[in-house]
Structure 1
Amino acid sequence: MCPMPALQLQHDPEQEALDWFTRLRQPGCDAALRQAFGDWYEHPLNAQAYARLEAYCQQLQAPAPRPRPRVVALRRSRLGLVLGLAFLLLLSVLAFLYWPMLQRLSCELHTESGERRSVRLADGSTLHLDSASAMNVDLRGRTRLLHLVQGQVAIDVMLDGRAMEVQVDDTRIQVFGTRLQLARYHDHDELVVLAGKAMVLQGGDQRLVNAGERVTFSASRINATEKADGKTIDAWRGGLIQASNMPLTQVLERLAAYQGQRVWLLNEQAAYRRVSGTFDLNQPAQSLERLAGDQQLSLFSVSGQWLIVR
């Protein structure tokens, strides 16, 4: 391409800068053209015009600023947060209410609320399950393993030369006898040995329980052994609670569990009371009404799941 022709009579740096800007970006720009541009650029007015044109072009090529997002209305944000928290709360309540039932159904052996059942195992031992109870059983190894997940069970052990061990959460019970009973409550667990012996093991702690003794334990400790009344403790198998100076809350929980309910005790003083008497497990509603009348308590059933006591 030939060099730029001689300057015209009217000198227009802006127009010439535009011409040079266009020609320099076309294919075939050679050294002679760049030399001619250099000669033209030496003039101060030309250099200023070209600099302004380059700055303008750079502005055109710069990315356009992103539009600012519209601010979501604060009311909508708060409504979404409230709805989200309400949904999570609902899920938590449903999980709390139905988790025990789902846990029971996942176990190998279980009973429904109000149901008592006896099961004979392959080794000849017999399990007597109370209402809303659940167990897993593994008899394949040298040590027969039982796991009480929920509720209460009486075990008649058949001796076959192998050891037997019962698991209650992280507590292990080595069985050296033929008859024992285990129960789980909301704040503790209980072992009663009716014949033979049993060793309760929890971490580095252990407690030997002889026939006619009972022991309570929790996740953190094993309490001292006490004398047990076998007739009173075993009465549930005949459909009765034989309470002898028993905590009121424990009687309420047992009767409510036969109706598939949990107890919510609002009367703080009642939590320290103890009761004695006979209560019919086959008619838990009537037994609860009689107990509430004797103790001057009010009972309120909520959704068939809760029994509020005040």
Structure 2
Amino acid sequence: MSPMPALQPPVDPEHEALEWFTRLRQPGCDERLRQAFAAWCQEPLNAHAYAALETYWQQLQVPAARPRPRIVKLRQSRMGLLLGLLFLMLLALLAWLYWPMLQRLGSELHTDVGERRSVRLADGSTLHLDSASAMNVDLRGRTRQLQLVQGQVYLEVMLDGRALEVQVDDTRIQVFGSRLQIARHGDHDELVVIKGKAALSQGGDLRMINAGERVTFNAAHIEPVAKVDTQAVDAWRNGQLKARDLPLAQVLERLAGYQGQRLWLLDEQAGYRRVSADFDLDHPAQSLARLADQQQLRLHSVLGHWLIAR
């Protein structure tokens, strides 16, 4: 009996399809290999197995993310920039509103809005601070140093053999008398000498102010010295504002400040009108209403921080 021939393993089209799939994607794939693959695909079972393998492979692939339209990125960029600008504007507004209060709290002596206070210093001098005022004091050296940060102060100076100097920004006031008043307004500062003398220096400019005289100044220059009614300038210590031929804008600003508001006068020309009257600083709202009625103005309070007059 002759031996039986060895049995050939059955052909597996799916296994062969996997081999062809691998070989066709290798770097050495040439035209001869592609022709052999085409001949293999002539068998329907082989072609079907390879097509099924290709379909399965395509399903495994992660589809590439579609790029977002450029216009969307541009709009998002502009929106982010706008929100950033609005945030910075809000911070600037809050800083502008609360910076005066922070300055007062950071000073050695200060008063709140509507508060008046008298402080006796270690050298015997007395400071009378008006509403929303702030000062720093240094009495340790041979020259006593005061700094008016905000508001208004009436000084009763005790002469003890040492010089006394008051700083208002870059302006220095050397005191040679015993009573004077210094005030800081929106666009200028003011010095009034009630008893004695004072020398005001700014850069290379020097002015001597005698009793009964006043001078206004700002960071740029010093105005000429003028006479003043000393009976009216310190009336605020008794809760009175005695306006004597003052600009309307200055009176409105003073009364608005006594209730913690900043003035916004829409009619600039009306601000130059002269006002002569007495006002109650302890009731600034009523005083403002009376003044607005006399001057035919309308007042609008905005968020408790601004007073719009028109």
What's the TM-score, normalizing by structure 1?
0.77
C-alpha deviation, 1:223, in angstroms: 1.0
Provide the residue aligned with 2:258 in structure 1.
Answer: 258
1:194 partner SS: strand
The residue type equivalent to 2:117 in the other structure is R
Question: Structure 1, residues 217-239: CA drift from partner, whole Å, max 9, x if none?
Answer: 11011111101101110111110
Provide the residue aligned with 1:99 in structure 2.
Answer: 99
Q: Which runs of 5+ in 1 are unaligned?
A: 1-17, 19-66
Provide the residue aligned with 2:124 in structure 1.
Answer: 124
Matches within 5 A, 1:29-68: none
CA RMSD, 1 decimal: 1.4
For the residues of structure 2 that align with 1:173 and 1:296, how far apart are their CA atoms?
40
Question: Structure 1, residues 198-234: CA drift from partner, whole Å, max 9, x if none?
Answer: 0000000010000111000110111111011011101
1:73 partner SS: helix
For the residues of structure 1 that align with 2:73 and 2:107, how far apart are their CA atoms?
50
The residue type equivalent to 2:171 in the other structure is T
Question: Structure 1, residues 44-98: CA drift from partner, whole Å, max 9, x if none?
Answer: xxxxxxxxxxxxxxxxxxxxxxx99865621111110110010011001101111
For the residues of structure 2 that align with 1:181 and 1:79, how far apart are their CA atoms?
53
Provide the residue aligned with 1:277 in structure 2.
Answer: 277
1:149 partner SS: strand
2:224 partner SS: coil
For the residues of structure 2 that align with 1:269 and 1:142, how far apart are their CA atoms?
48
For the residues of structure 1 that align with 2:121 and 2:249, how far apart are their CA atoms?
33
For the residues of structure 2 that align with 1:75 and 1:92, how far apart are their CA atoms?
26
Provide the residue aligned with 2:10 in structure 1.
Answer: none
Matches within 5 A, 1:208-247: 208-247=208-247
For the residues of structure 1 that align with 2:292 and 2:223, how far apart are their CA atoms?
30
For the residues of structure 2 that align with 1:258 and 1:272, how far apart are their CA atoms?
21
Question: Structure 1, residues 77-120: CA drift from partner, whole Å, max 9, x if none?
Answer: 11101100100110011011110000110000000000000000
Question: Structure 1, residues 128-162: CA drift from partner, whole Å, max 9, x if none?
Answer: 00000000000000000000000000000001110
For the residues of structure 2 that align with 1:69 and 1:202, how far apart are their CA atoms?
65
Q: How many residue pairs get matched?
A: 245
The residue type equivalent to 2:98 in the other structure is Y
For the residues of structure 2 that align with 1:248 and 1:172, how far apart are their CA atoms?
29
2:234 partner SS: helix
C-alpha deviation, 1:268, in angstroms: 1.8
Provide the residue aligned with 1:206 in structure 2.
Answer: 206
2:115 partner SS: coil
1:260 partner SS: coil
For the residues of structure 1 that align with 2:182 and 2:156, how far apart are their CA atoms?
12
For the residues of structure 2 that align with 1:201 and 1:88, how far apart are their CA atoms?
39
C-alpha deviation, 1:270, in angstroms: 1.1
For the residues of structure 2 that align with 1:97 and 1:69, how far apart are their CA atoms?
46
For the residues of structure 1 that align with 2:280 and 2:78, how far apart are their CA atoms?
52
1:147 partner SS: strand
1:160 partner SS: coil
For the residues of structure 1 that align with 2:169 and 2:109, how far apart are their CA atoms?
17
For the residues of structure 1 that align with 2:218 and 2:294, how far apart are their CA atoms?
31
For the residues of structure 1 that align with 2:120 and 2:189, how far apart are their CA atoms?
24
Q: Which runs of 5+ in 2 are unaligned?
A: 1-27, 29-64
For the residues of structure 2 that align with 1:294 and 1:92, how far apart are their CA atoms?
36
C-alpha deviation, 1:272, in angstroms: 1.1
Provide the residue aligned with 1:173 in structure 2.
Answer: 173
The residue type equivalent to 1:290 in the other structure is R
2:81 partner SS: helix
The residue type equivalent to 2:115 in the other structure is E
Provide the residue aligned with 2:162 in structure 1.
Answer: 162
Runs ≥4 in structure 1, deviation > 2 angstroms?
67-72
Question: Structure 1, residues 28-54: CA drift from partner, whole Å, max 9, x if none?
Answer: xxxxxxxxxxxxxxxxxxxxxxxxxxx
Provide the residue aligned with 1:82 in structure 2.
Answer: 82
What's the TM-score, normalizing by structure 2?
0.77
C-alpha deviation, 1:274, in angstroms: 1.0
Matches within 5 A, 1:3-22: none
1:114 partner SS: coil
The residue type equivalent to 1:210 in the other structure is N
Aligned-pair identity (%): 71
